[in-house]
Structure 1
């Protein structure tokens, strides 16, 4: 099989995997056994299809093979599990129409409200994203054994709940959609600006988040928040090539070479964002996408329509009050009303964001705008001491050093080890 057809087969299996897993889990209620059976079915497809040809209904074929594997496993434990007769009599016709709802069911299962964000992220990447435990552990700089325990605990937690594998009813699915989108947002955010380590970005993680967001958008194309989240990811990811220099150093938004921005992603993101506006600015992802679209459409930093961005942050803060939203609004406020106004707003967050490196980084930026070099240096050094990201720390230290050199600011001792991009 040539490279292109092989890639097409791999893409198909990856797309079908969460659908098949959703069927198995929903029918049999055993996540671990279903996952093992799915892996065996995928392996069988990868080895048999190139020789025998792809079946007319690949999804039905995978379900039948996986069900047979599950039947074998259950028969081996027949004394403990008496469900065999009722469960495995169900046949899957080869002409069965693809029920895409099973992928959505897997999102809802992996992002069950009973699970923590960390557990939901791991389970989503494993069951819907198809990533191995080692890959997920590597993405979050954790030992593989630790991540395996996290995934195992999440599955056990689900097994203790009443009907965790049932599809949410009409009254429940909307409330369950929130955790799904939140998990996808967290996965993307970690990939866009990695929270710790030597790399600023984890493009494999942000790319996987975009792929998952596209899949849920295909299932719910009219939902403004689903569309808004996908648009936000695309518009943000469009800046990826310009965010780091030749040596991996961080380049802030105002200094980026915008010729490197991905205009195709920007066009798609703006189109998606614009398509949601008929429903009004009703959700946080939709509003953030609108803010990202304003940034993306500015050909130069000086062209940025900061009054529009400030107005959007005002709406965002009223809709979803949050100290990080207020901190971003402080930056927009400074760009419109001057750095003193931004600093005054940032100062109101001291109690809520005490010790947060992003608050210190924003203070450094706004103090630099105001011409207060000593305050800017102190804030940059404070932020550098608190961040666990090496590129962010290096950027903040370099900023402080330049201000010292320019203004003869006295040196201060460094503590051991923002999004300063804005």
Structure 2
């Protein structure tokens, strides 16, 4: 394997494994900034050694072992300067010494999932403004780049970058402990935690950049953490609403790509390949959210939208009037230009493309959607249905120029080409 191939493989692996490494290092060192620095050291070490020595048989385990060694070395260096009892406890844990009581149980717990949960709640600390909590946690837990986070927020990259830097500095200055808070403290962090899981799942379901249509590892991690969360907070309807949304959306994943990774859009998907067991789990979680008074919560409403698709055995059976009504309700609960754009799609299906286009045209001047690829993509689709092919071609071409995902770009360029007469 040549150097370029090694680098590509390491890059793909790093996107999947870096959140776990950061979580483990943050638990060892107690500091998120330090964890990030040490994780970068691990990456540099792999870049130096793998091209020369070959890719290890288990590269993910190699990275984790290297990260733990870096963490141990860092703790040892700190102990040379100040032998604090808490740090000595971490050293004892790392070397397998006997400990007693709750601390022994907590420190002996070597489960990756627990580390990620600690990182999630630490990054969502109420000391930080809501948007800073979400941006930082997406960076640390989701492994998303600053441009990807900026696209999720529909905000400039420098703004998001500054939020992340300030958030890490605040946590370090206030010496926020790296731990899952007590149950009484969970609700005040819940909104940020749910938003992070939602955005991480979305990036996995429809990647905004890269060569892959989806990033399944992100979806799986977000789903796993959401399942843990509803166990911690069984009375929180929105936690169940989000879990329902994720389960229902994830049920379609087997049908969303061809064997070569090329996208399959919703109208062409083979619904026999949708995971019916996962759909049932999603519907059960949605029913739980509705029973606990959360029917009108933002995530429960989105789950209800996903349920409309899940219940339709064929694309032609989709109840677009019900979907348009749900989007209208969602706009009242959590107004957003992205939700309004989705409503335009539903209205276009229910009432005809001209009705949908009227909504889209009102969004064209929205500054938040200026560089948002789905806006011209939706407009192009509606224009094509109206027979306005030249305008549709222009919109599909613009959408292709805005997306950072190569698979999506291919789809949009193909649709633009289809608007040009033979």
Alpha-carbon spacing, 1:334–1:125, altered in 2? closer, same or farther (3 Å): closer
If the length of structure 2 is used for normalisation, what is the TM-score?
A: 0.68
The reply to whether residue 179 of structure 1 matches residue 187 of structure 2 is no
1:111/1:124 contact within 8 Å kept: no
Give the deviation of 1:248 after TM superposition: 2.2
What residue is the counterpart of 1:240 in the other structure? 253
Q: How many residues align?
A: 340
What residue is the counterpart of 2:140 in the other structure? 123
Taking the TM superposition and a 5 Å limit, the aligned residue runs for 1:93-242 are: 93=101, 106-112=119-125, 113-114=128-129, 115=132, 117-125=134-142, 155-161=168-174, 163=176, 173-242=186-255
Larger % of helix: which?
Answer: 2
- From 293, 303, 319, give the equivalent of 1:289: 303
The reply to whether residue 399 of structure 1 matches residue 412 of structure 2 is no
1:34/1:70 contact within 8 Å kept: no
- From 318, 339, 350, give the equivalent of 1:304: 318
For 1:11-59, what per-residue CA distance to the aligned partner results, in whole angstroms no more than 9, with x for missing partners? xxxxx9999999x78xx965678999xxxxxxxxxxxxxxxxxxxxxxx
- Stretches of structure 1 that go unaligned for 5 or more consecutive residues are 1-15, 37-67, 127-135, 142-149, 409-422
What residue is the counterpart of 2:345 in the other structure? 331
For 1:80-103, what per-residue CA distance to the aligned partner results, in whole angstroms no more than 9, with x for missing partners? x58779999996327988899998
The reply to whether residue 357 of structure 1 matches residue 370 of structure 2 is no
For 1:324-381, what per-residue CA distance to the aligned partner results, in whole angstroms no more than 9, with x for missing partners? 0000001111112211111111111112222321110010111122232222222211
- From 79, 82, 88, give the equivalent of 1:78: 82
2:122/2:178 contact within 8 Å kept: yes
1:104/1:219 contact within 8 Å kept: no
CA distance in 2, matches of 1:206, 1:226: 16
Once structures 1 and 2 are overlaid, which stretch shifts more, 291-300 or 279-288? Answer: 279-288
Q: Note the aligned Cα RMSD (angstroms).
A: 4.1
What residue is the counterpart of 2:270 in the other structure? 257
What residue is the counterpart of 1:322 in the other structure? 336
Alpha-carbon spacing, 1:290–1:402, altered in 2? closer, same or farther (3 Å): same
CA distance in 1, matches of 2:174, 2:360: 43
CA distance in 2, matches of 1:390, 1:69: 41
For 1:287-331, what per-residue CA distance to the aligned partner results, in whole angstroms no more than 9, with x for missing partners? 111100111111001100111111111110000010000000011
Alpha-carbon spacing, 1:85–1:94, altered in 2? closer, same or farther (3 Å): closer
Alpha-carbon spacing, 1:17–1:272, altered in 2? closer, same or farther (3 Å): farther
The reply to whether residue 390 of structure 1 matches residue 406 of structure 2 is yes
2:213/2:405 contact within 8 Å kept: yes
CA distance in 2, matches of 1:317, 1:215: 29
Give the deviation of 1:261 after TM superposition: 1.0
CA distance in 1, matches of 2:193, 2:416: 40
CA distance in 1, matches of 2:382, 2:290: 32
For 1:171-209, what per-residue CA distance to the aligned partner results, in whole angstroms no more than 9, with x for missing partners? 864342111111111111111111112211111222122
CA distance in 2, matches of 1:400, 1:109: 46
2:204/2:216 contact within 8 Å kept: yes
Give the deviation of 1:75 after TM superposition: 4.2
CA distance in 2, matches of 1:257, 1:124: 33
Alpha-carbon spacing, 1:355–1:102, altered in 2? closer, same or farther (3 Å): closer
Alpha-carbon spacing, 1:321–1:21, altered in 2? closer, same or farther (3 Å): same
Give the deviation of 1:258 after TM superposition: 0.9
2:121/2:179 contact within 8 Å kept: no
1:101/1:219 contact within 8 Å kept: no
Give the deviation of 1:167 after TM superposition: 7.0
CA distance in 2, matches of 1:33, 1:249: 39
For 1:223-269, what per-residue CA distance to the aligned partner results, in whole angstroms no more than 9, with x for missing partners? 11111111111111111121122332222111111111111111111
- Stretches of structure 2 that go unaligned for 5 or more consecutive residues are 1-19, 38-71, 93-97, 150-162
CA distance in 1, matches of 2:335, 2:216: 30
Alpha-carbon spacing, 1:301–1:168, altered in 2? closer, same or farther (3 Å): same
CA distance in 2, matches of 1:103, 1:390: 30
Q: Which of these two proteins has the greater Rg computed from alpha carbons?
A: 1
